[in-house]
Structure formats: C-alpha cells, structure tokens
Structure 1
C-alpha cells in the first residue's frame, strides 16, 4: 500500500486541484461545485450565464472557498477552445472536468422539430464532446492524470416523461461518449465516469418547456426527490485520486427509483 492509498481525511480532499463544472451557475451544477469547493478544489464555475456564474462563485469565496466564474458557451467550438486555452494559462491544467451543462425542454415525438432536436443535442452532447476533447487533451499533455465526470440522466434507466426524445437521445450519446472516452484516455491515467440523476428540483427542471408531465418518472421514489448535493457527493467519489481504478462506470443517484 502506498502513502496515497492510506486512509486519512486527506483521502477525501481535492486541495490544490482545479475542478471545472459546466452549467455551474445554478441547479445541479452549483450544488456539485459547492461540494467540490468544500473538498478543497479551486472550482471554475463555467456557464453561459456569466452573471449567474459570478454570483455563485462569489458566494463560495465569501464562505472562504476558492472559485472563479468564467463565461463559456459549450455548444460553440470557438468559445470552448478559447475557454480551455485561457483556463490552462490562468489556473493550470484542471484535475477534474464535470460535464453538467444541459437543456431539458420537451416535445412529443410527432411534434419535435429539427431545430428543437439540434438545440438540445448541441448543448447536452456536442458540448460535452468539445469540453472532453479539449480538456482531456490538456490533461494528457500535462501527464498528471485526471478525472472526467459526465452528468447524464436516469431517463436512460426508465425514469421517463413524455416529450423527452431529444433529451434522452442526448443523454444516451453522453453515456456512449463516456465509454469511448474512458477507453481512449485510460492510457493517460484519466478516468471517465457517468452519473445518472433521478428527479431533482432545480430552476432548469421547473422552468423547462413542454407538454403536460406524464410518465413513470413522476412516481414517488422511496427517498423522494434527489438533492443536488447528493449528486455532488457522487462526483467527489469519482474525482478522488484514490478512485483511480474506477472508470467507465454509470452510477444512478435516483433516490431509489429503481426499486419503486
């Protein structure tokens, strides 16, 4: 057993490491970012909503934590590339990337337009691909290993409501991206894992547009709604240096939906 394998409070620390959370201004992203900051990471709150990202990062700093707000549109290649270059230049190569940014608007299958499909997939799938490509490469060049955690959805395990064709497809693409990325990045000591959140009360979920809610996802899970900090705890588990042997895994944080 090496010193790094010994159990101590430091086992659960990300002190001295940079963590990037996309869509970190609010909702799940903000809760994940909070857990990582509390674990000692310098958190980059990355969001297209720069004002919201600044507000979230400022709240962390006021609490004695380390955080910075950065504006990025994950669906835009030039925005992602500029973000990643500036990030490495100003803060160093990140240890952790959390691909959390996502859209949740719904439309029933027969009425779904190509524009609606493309809008959701551009953020949920292409955005994660671009961030993984750029920061995964930066981690590989730095040579210190790293962690990537993708926030997909428990829709992939049956937690469905009507109107989720584009959303579910984008999250399925994200899960597939995780698998391929885990394979290709393993030679660089970079792990890639996926979290499948169940129903979470967030501004994004409550403000999503679409048909009337109907489907199995509405049934009451044994532990009710999922809290964003529970998702953050799962992210932290995958992000720890001691978790280096865990890759290409999908963990449902669903309040027991699968047994309901």
Structure 2
C-alpha cells in the first residue's frame, strides 16, 4: 500500500540545526520544522530568546532546544556544532538563516562594515557547512542544507545594501559549490530568496531610511511573513525534495515580476 502523499513532507526523526532561529524569519522556520516533526536546535547569539522559544515549542508537544553561537567567531561555530552532535547526533538539516542587514550607502560605506556583514552572512554559513557537512558525510545518511539569501540578488531592492547583498551573493555561490561537492553523499543544498519580510530585524536595521523599488506595491499583496519563507525551507528540507539540489526559490510576493 502506498503511503499518504503528505508523508513525503514529514521530518519525524530528523534533527534540524537552524541559525538565527530565535527571531524574525528564524522563528517561522523553527516553528514549521518542529510542526513537521523535526527535533530543532535553535542556534542563536541571543541565547535567552532561543531558550524561551524552545520552551514554548516543547510545551506545545514539539522537540526543541537552544545552543548559543556567534557566527562571527569560528571557535564558537565549531563548539556549537560539536555540542549539537554530542547531544543530539548529527543534524540531517542545516538552515543557514542568521544574518545582519544594516544599511550604508555605497559611497559612504566602510570596509569594517563590509567585513562585519560578510563575517556573519557568508563566512559563518561556510564554516557551518564545513563542520556539519563533514558530520553528515561521516554518518552516511545524506542530509539537507538550506541557505537563506535575498531577493535583492535578482534586482535592486532599496539603497544601502551593498555589503548585505554582496554577502548574500557569496552565500548563493557557496550553495552552488556545496551542492556540487556534496551531491555524491546524498546531501542537497538549496537556497531561498526572501523578499521583504515583516520582522523586527528589518524594521530596526541601522542606516538610511529604505528607499528604492521595494517600496512599491507588491502584486500578491502585503509583504511576506516568516511562515511564508519557512514553507519554502520546509519543502527543501523534506524527503519530497530528495532530487532537488542547487535550486533557488524566491518568496517575494511577486516583486520579481514588477
């Protein structure tokens, strides 16, 4: 007898490691992966917020825990990955979601800000992919890596995002290389490109007021919610996407067609 079609989206028995899971888009991703059955590790610099979210999910009958990590610090990343593996076994899912998105106009931006943005948004995911990718290969059961980039890679969004979009361009390139090198191990690597999303991080980003194409009305209505991004992540993370790798989904409320 064939299984019900929705079983292809079940993550029961899987462990997911989500960076930046304690806030914004990360909360939506963590919540949906947990609802799909995964045991979720909320890896975040804001440890208190991560613990509070984990407690809330556990109270609702899901499985979640928190691990502190600073994506700008290689030693912190290595330690967090080792702790996750020691406590829960090798994650089957890695979601490189954490990122910073402060704005600075191109002609006023500093090298220090460029380096800070790239350290968190590009170098951090590289180190996590290296550490957890090695563990996935050693375990030999395949895996899923999902990287969160930006719809800004498909066209200008607002002014002041040179460092942010540059770092996400590096992340998208990393996705392609990772997909190629990890395919033989049954590990898929895909990318989600969010458009404007209603999050505290977006509202509170430092820098000049947002000005540019993203200010126009979107064809599908209001800006996205974290759950909209989480749905694409959950698909890529699921058994249903077993033959999907090196692919990109833009979740942007139709911004790309305007």
1:186 corresponds to: 183
2:255 counterpart residue number: 257
Match of 2:196 in 1: 199
Q: What secondary structure, in the 3-state scheme, does the structure 1 residue paired with 2:26 have? A: helix
**1:106 corresponds to:** 103
1:37-52 to 2 correspondence within 5 Å? 37-52=34-49
CA distance in 2 between counterparts of 1:219 and 1:8 reads 39
In structure 2, what is the equivalent of residue 137 of structure 1? 134
1:212 is aligned to 2:202: no
**What does residue 225 of structure 1 align with?**
223
Q: 1:244 aligns with which of 217, 231, 242?
A: 242
Aligned to 1:22: 19
TM-score normalised to structure 1 length: 0.96
Query: In 2, are the aligned partners of 1:103 and 1:124 still within 8 Å (CA)?
Result: yes
Compute the RMSD of aligned alpha carbons. 1.2
Give secondary structure in 1 for the equivalent of 2:71.
coil
Task: State the Cα distance separating 1:7 from its structure 2 match.
Answer: 4.0
Unaligned 5+ segments in structure 1 are none
2:32 paired residue number: 35
> Residues 5-62 of structure 1, C-alpha deviation per residue, up to 9 Å, x if partnerless?
x543322210111001100001000111000000000000110010111111111111
SS in 2 for 1:124: helix
Q: Which runs of 5+ in 2 are unaligned?
A: none
Residue 170 of structure 2: which of 169, 173, 190 is its match?
Answer: 173
Give the aligned length: 257
